[in-house]
């Protein structure tokens, strides 16, 4: 893939049709032509522009990691397992109400809720599940609304479409809770801000989530619908290995599915993703393997560090060191994702010198392929 910015036609051929689209939503709703619908990016009309923001901010068009890293951290891309970090720790909410609804330790909801209370943000773009568990982007403006978005269903959701829908003249300050691909798209926007109504300047905080893969919202939702009474489901979970299952919590107990049955629905694009820990976020949050009720937290930027500090001071978060074996395991998993993705990319392109969207220094590539 070359470095030139192209238009929507090329976006479709090089990304969507090539099985690289992660459904991040960065291209959707930024113009009147591209929208996301039921797990697909749809072009409503032909657009004649030879260069488009759709192509420019897509996390699966050519991305020079050094340029992005310079913009976010002021340093070239390190290629380390967890990316650039200030601190890695574990945390959990002190708020019982949040903990009750939380997937793991409730850290994300706690941080957002605090940022809102302290007037740092006016709202947060989150993923919300409908009663029938269809995920959609949602702009939460209150603690209550944020709480309603807690929990995961592991389906891809074009969250950034909601950002594209906010008027340029809006003065709202926003947080975005994003998957690694979405964090990368936001970083590309920060590097060269959009010309039109989309205003990346509104985004004051990016909370990245850990992600190994996401499920196709169309196919997987169909699977869930066929096997569950969805409005009755209160939570989905993938317990740590060696369980190898996907669980749905219902009033009549947990219903589990073999993980292999679920993997069929993984987005084909996820196999080409090198980022497990949202390396360009202000703060990245995931689970802690083997320690229930806690989150792994990676602090990456000053904005992230200040917020964690504030949460500690105000007693909103309980913070502890991440046990070294957990840290080692996290790094190992992250590195494995990078290696596998790079191999997959080379298999797809059929050329060791063509890494599709990935713009990395040769030394890093060599390290990963070693």
Q: Which chain residues interact with another protein by CB under 8 A?
A: 30-33, 35, 37-38, 40, 42-45, 47-49, 52-53, 167, 195-197
Residue whose CB is less far from another protein, 47 or 303: 47
* Least gap, CB of 317 to another protein (angstroms): 40
* Least gap, CB of 20 to another protein (angstroms): 18
* Least gap, CB of 186 to another protein (angstroms): 18
Residue whose CB is less far from another protein, 107 or 164: 164
Give 216's contacts (C-beta < 8 A, 6+ positions apart).
39, 155, 156, 265, 266, 267
* Least gap, CB of 52 to another protein (angstroms): 7
* Least gap, CB of 165 to another protein (angstroms): 9
Q: Cα(60)–Cα(74) distance, rounded to whole angstroms?
A: 23
* Least gap, CB of 33 to another protein (angstroms): 7
| Of 248, 276, 277, residue with least CA distance to 261 | 248
Residue whose CB is less far from another protein, 57 or 294: 57
Residue whose CB is less far from another protein, 195 or 353: 195
Q: Cα(131)–Cα(137) distance, rounded to whole angstroms?
A: 14
Residue whose CB is less far from another protein, 41 or 82: 41
Residue whose CB is less far from another protein, 104 or 220: 220
Q: What is the dihedral of CA 82, 83, 84, 86, to 10 degrees?
A: -10
């Amino acid at each position: 893939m070359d470095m030139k910015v192209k238009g929507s036609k090329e976006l479709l051929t090089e990304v969507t049709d090539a099985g690289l689209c992660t459904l991040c939503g960065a291209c959707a709703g930024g113009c009147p032509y591209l929208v996301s619908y039921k797990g697909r990016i749809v072009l409503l009309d032909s657009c004649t522009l030879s260069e488009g923001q759709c192509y420019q901010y897509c996390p699966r068009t050519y991305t020079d990691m050094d340029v992005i890293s310079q913009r976010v951290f002021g340093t070239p891309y390190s290629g380390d397992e967890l990316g650039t970090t200030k601190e890695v720790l574990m945390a959990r909410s002190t708020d019982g109400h949040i903990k009750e609804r939380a997937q793991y330790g409730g850290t994300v909801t706690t941080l957002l809720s605090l940022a809102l209370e302290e007037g740092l943000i006016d709202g947060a773009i989150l993923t919300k599940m409908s009663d029938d568990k269809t995920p959609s982007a949602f702009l939460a403006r209150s603690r209550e609304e944020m709480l309603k978005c807690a929990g995961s269903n592991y389906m891809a959701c074009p969250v950034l479409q909601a950002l594209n829908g906010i008027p340029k003249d809006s003065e709202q300050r926003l947080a975005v809770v994003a998957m690694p691909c979405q964090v990368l798209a936001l970083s590309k926007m920060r590097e060269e801000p959009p010309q039109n109504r989309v205003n990346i300047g509104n985004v004051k905080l990016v909370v990245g989530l850990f992600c190994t893969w996401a499920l196709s919202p169309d196919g997987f939702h169909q699977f869930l619908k066929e096997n569950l009474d969805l409005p009755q489901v209160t939570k989905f979970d993938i317990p740590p290995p060696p369980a190898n299952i996907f669980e749905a919590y219902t009033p009549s107990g947990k219903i589990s599915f073999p993980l292999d049955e679920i993997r069929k629905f993984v987005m084909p694009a996820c196999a080409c993703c090198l980022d497990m820990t949202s390396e360009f976020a202000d703060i990245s949050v995931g689970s802690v393997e083997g320690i229930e009720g806690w989150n792994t937290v990676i602090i990456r930027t000053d904005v992230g560090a200040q917020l964690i500090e504030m949460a500690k001071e105000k007693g909103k978060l309980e913070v502890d060191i991440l046990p070294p074996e957990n840290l080692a395991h996290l790094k190992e998993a992250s590195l494995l994702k990078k290696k596998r993705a790079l191999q997959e990319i080379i298999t797809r392109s059929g050329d060791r010198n063509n890494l599709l969207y990935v713009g990395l220094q040769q030394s890093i590539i060599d390290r990963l392929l070693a």
